[in-house]
Amino acid sequence: MNLIVGATGLLGGEICRVLAARGKTVRAMVRDTSAADATAALTRLGAQVLQGDLKDRRSLDRACRGVSTVFSTASSTRSRQDGDSIESVDRHGQLNLIDAAEAAGVTRFVLISFAAMPLDFPLQSAKRAVEDRLRHGRMTYTILQPSFFMEVWLSPALGFDLSHATAQIYGNGHGKLSWISFQDVAQFAVAAVDSPHAKDAVFQLGGPEGLSPLEVVRLAERTVGKPFAVQHVAEEALRAQHAGAADPLEKSFAALMLMYARGDAIDMTETRRALPVARLKSVQEYLQASTQAT
C-alpha cells in the first residue's frame, strides 16, 4: 500500500495517478475541507480516500496503518487553512508523519523538498529539519529536491501570463533555471521506490535544459506570436522584502524569488541514470500546451 500525503495538490494528485496507472495500490490522505472535485478525482482513480491532517497525530497513525511506502508532498505554502503554517505543517506536521510511519512499520519514505539555499528562511529551516530526521530514522528514504515548477512559476499567479503577453521576472532575468514539470517530478518519485540507487539518497531534479527567464520570454513570444511586456523585480527589492518580512511565508517566498533571480541550473545526467524516466517535458512543450488551453 502506498500512502500519498498531499494527495489533492498538484503533485500529490499526479503521484496518485502514476501509481494507479501502474497498478499500485493507493491510499490518498485528504482533509475534511478538501475540495469535493479533487477527492472525487482520486476515487475515480481507484484510490482509497482517507481523511487525515498533518496536525492530527491520531489521523496519521490511521493513515499509515498497513502502508509500505509514504510519499509526502504536503506544504502550507499552497494551502492556508485554519492552523496551517510553516511550523505546524512543513516542520512539525512532517515530523509527526515520520514518527507515525516508523511506528506503523512503514519501510520507505519519499519526501519532496528543495535544494539548500544560501539564505536563512523559515521554509528552508523546516525542510532541513525534516530531511535530517529522515536521515537519522529507521526507514529507507529518498529525498527529491526539484527546481522551479514551470506550472507554478510560469503561470499568471506569479506574473507570467501568456494570454495577456506579460511577464514578471525576478532579478535581471539572465540566470539559467532548470524548470521542471510537476508531472516529471511525479515520475521520479514513483521511480525512486523501485530503484536500488534511490535507497537513502538525495536527488536534485531539473528539466531537460537550463533556460534563463528572458530566454523563456523569447520562447513565449514566438509561441503566441507577439511581444511580451516584461516587468523586472530588482534583487535589491527582494533582499529588502526578505530582510524586513515578519510573516514566515512572506520571508520564505522572498528567499525563493532571490534564488530564482540568481539561477539554479542542474545537471541531470547522473540522476537520470539512477532514476530512469523516459523523457522530460520542455518549457517549449509547456508553453505550447498552455497556449492551446487558453
Per-residue pLDDT of the chain (294 residues; tens, 9 = 90+): 999 999 999 999 999 999 999 999 999 999 988 888 999 999 999 999 999 999 999 999 999 999 999 999 999 887 666 678 999 999 999 999 999 999 999 999 999 999 999 999 999 999 999 999 999 999 999 999 999 999 999 999 999 999 999 999 999 999 999 999 999 999 999 999 999 999 999 999 999 999 999 999 999 999 999 999 999 999 999 999 999 999 999 999 999 999 999 998 999 999 999 998 989 999 999 999 998 876
The DSSP bridge pattern shows strands 166-170 and 160-161 to be antiparallel
- Burial label for 202, CB within 10 Å (0-12, 13-18, 19+), is middle
Q: How many residues does the chain have?
A: 294
Give the per-residue pLDDT at 33. Answer: 83
CA–CA gap between residue 230 and residue 232 (Å, rounded)? 7
Grid coordinates representing 254 are: 522572498
The DSSP bridge pattern shows strands 201-205 and 140-146 to be parallel
Give the per-residue pLDDT at 80. Answer: 64
Give the per-residue pLDDT at 32. Answer: 85
Please identify which residue in the block is written with the cell numbers 521576472: 169
CA–CA gap between residue 196 and residue 237 (Å, rounded)? 45
CA–CA gap between residue 144 and residue 192 (Å, rounded)? 9
Instruction: Please list the alpha-helical segments (H only) found in the chain.
Output: 10-21, 36-45, 57-64, 92-103, 122-135, 150-153, 182-194, 213-224, 235-244, 248-262, 269-274, 283-293
Residues linked to residue 143 through DSSP beta bridges, in sequence order: 111, 202
pTM: 0.95
Instruction: Answer whether 145's CB lies under 8 Å from 204's CB.
Output: yes
Question: How many CA atoms does the CB half-sphere of 248 hold within 13 Å?
Answer: 16
